[in-house]
């Protein structure tokens, strides 16, 4: 009599329906053949699986999959809920990767209760050919002025003199990984690479692998992943100008650096020097007004540098400092007719050619 009340969709399909006392427990199988696959894109991996056993015969229910994955040294799992049978993401291949997945059964098939399968697990790691000391050191990449990428490295600590390093790169939009065609060399040894014309490469993961070969021993590969907009180093501002508009205030202006970086993407840091005392200021505009420390300051100088701001990138690299610009003021002494005393004013000497002084 009890089985007459069981939903017939549970019979002979992927659900296991058991009676515990007078309650009905519904179980769903986990996904099949879960694996982490490397298509050779330097860290961009495919996590893929197949539906639970006999799932294709049960079309009325909607399945979702809960996918968790991480690098093995991370404390945090990244979690994705999807109805697809594949998920793609970038990883640091210097470390191992692990993932796990389970099935979620839609509430329409379970009378509103939550039903999940057990976990299926998978892992992936590249072979550790070569000792760690043969891998390149101090890998650094800078995207200069949002126009070209320069990466540099030092040879591994124990790499033999015949070691030859090779750099490959890939980002979404390329059909396959490409090798550097413009190496930087030191005594004929490859120590870096310059990449230009990286079309539509910003705001997506950029993967790099530097491997090597030697007749003496295997060379450990090194993997790097970043986004180009986060490693931009702009040009420094030019055409600086400083003026004193009234006895208490000065104004500084400069040109926006040339290049493809939009003006709205800049932030600036200034160092202002007044009679030997320096102070720092910041702004997102290419001019600034500041109060003078004293009305009779004789030395006013500043220099400035630029960086991509938080509205266009998560991080960035400061440009070099600009040349210093100083206010070339002069003092003119005059006799005050009203006050009957000697007084002075400071003016910009670039304006003196337009002044006419009349005295008796």
- The whole-number average pLDDT for the span 150-170 is 95
Determine the average pLDDT of the residues in 196-208. 94
Read off the DSSP letter of residue 197: -
Could you tell me the maximum CA-CA distance found in the chain, to the nearest angstrom? 125
**pLDDT interval class at 313 (50, 70, 90):** very high
Residue 62 · residue 188 · CB < 8 Å: no
Edge-to-edge order in the sheet of strand 137-144: 183-186, 189-196, 148-154, 137-144, 232-233
pLDDT at 55: 52
Residues 6+ apart with CB under 8 A from 262: 312
Q: Which of 287, 282, 294 is nearest to 249 (CA)?
A: 294
Could you tell me which of 341, 340, 323 has the C-alpha nearest to residue 235?
Answer: 323
Q: What was the pLDDT predicted at 167? A: 98
Residue 323, beta-bridge partner list:
none
Quickly list DSSP for 316-347.
----PPPPPEEE-EEEEEEE-TTT-SEEEEEE
Give pLDDT, residue 58: 55
pTM attached to this predicted model: 0.79
Number of other residues whose CB lies within 10 A of the CB of residue 260: 8
Label residue 24 by pLDDT band (50, 70, 90).
low
Q: What is the pLDDT of residues 100-129, one digit of tens each?
A: 999 998 777 777 777 899 999 999 999 878
Average pLDDT over residues 64-90: 96
| 350's tokens | 């670039």
Rounded-to-integer distance, Cα 80 and Cα 240, Å: 50
- The C-alpha atoms of residue 288 and residue 253 are separated, in whole angstroms, by 7
Distance CA(227)–CA(206), nearest Å, equals 6
Least reliable range by pLDDT among 112-121, 170-179, 205-214 = 112-121
The candidate with the shortest Cα–Cα distance to 24, out of 113, 134, 146, 132, is: 113
Note the residue count of the chain: 360
DSSP letter for 43, please: S
Query: CA angle 8-11-13, nearest 5°?
Result: 120
**What's the start-to-end Cα distance of the chain, in Å?**
125
Mean pLDDT across the chain = 84
Please give the pLDDT value at position 292. 85
pLDDT mean over 179-192: 95
Sign, CA torsion 289/295/301/302: negative
* pLDDT, tens digit (0-9, with 9 covering 90-100), for 327-352: 876 543 334 444 444 444 444 444 44
- Asked whether the predicted pLDDT for residue 152 surpasses 90, the reply is yes
């Amino acid at each position: 009599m009890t089985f007459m009340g069981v939903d017939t969709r549970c019979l002979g399909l992927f659900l296991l329906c058991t009676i515990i006392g007078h309650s009905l427990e519904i179980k769903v199988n986990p996904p099949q053949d879960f694996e982490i696959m490397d298509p050779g894109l330097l860290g961009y991996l495919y996590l893929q699986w197949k539906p639970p056993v006999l799932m294709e015969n049960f079309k009325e229910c909607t399945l979702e999959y809960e996918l968790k994955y991480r690098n093995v040294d991370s404390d945090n799992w990244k979690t994705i809920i999807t109805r697809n049978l594949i998920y793609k993401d970038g990883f640091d291949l210097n470390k191992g990767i692990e993932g796990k997945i389970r099935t979620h059964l839609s509430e329409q098939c379970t009378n509103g209760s939550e039903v999940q399968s057990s976990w299926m697990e998978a892992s992936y790691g590249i072979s550790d050919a070569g000792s760690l000391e043969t891998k390149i050191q101090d890998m650094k990449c800078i995207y200069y002025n949002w126009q070209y990428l320069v990466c540099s490295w030092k040879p591994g600590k124990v790499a033999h003199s015949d070691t030859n390093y090779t750099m490959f790169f890939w980002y979404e939009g390329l059909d396959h990984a490409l090798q550097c065609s413009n190496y930087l060399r030191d005594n004929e040894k490859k120590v870096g690479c310059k990449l230009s014309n990286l079309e539509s490469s910003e705001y997506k993961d950029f993967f790099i692998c530097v491997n090597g070969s030697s007749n003496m021993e295997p060379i450990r590969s090194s993997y790097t992943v970043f986004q180009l907009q986060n490693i931009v180093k702009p040009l420094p501002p030019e055409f600086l100008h400083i003026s004193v508009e009234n006895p208490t205030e000065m104004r500084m202006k400069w040109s926006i650096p040339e290049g493809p970086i939009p003006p709205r993407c800049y932030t600036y840091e200034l160092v202002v020097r007044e009679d030997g005392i320096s102070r720092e200021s910041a702004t997102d505009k290419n001019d600034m007004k500041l109060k003078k420390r004293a009305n009779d300051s004789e030395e006013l100088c500043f220099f400035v540098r630029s960086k991509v701001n938080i509205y266009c990138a998560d991080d960035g690299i400061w440009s070099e400092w600009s040349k210093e610009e100083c206010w070339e003021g002069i003092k003119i002494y005059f006799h005050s007719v009203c006050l009957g005393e000697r007084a002075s004013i400071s003016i910009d000497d670039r304006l003196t050619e337009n002044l006419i002084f009349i005295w008796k």
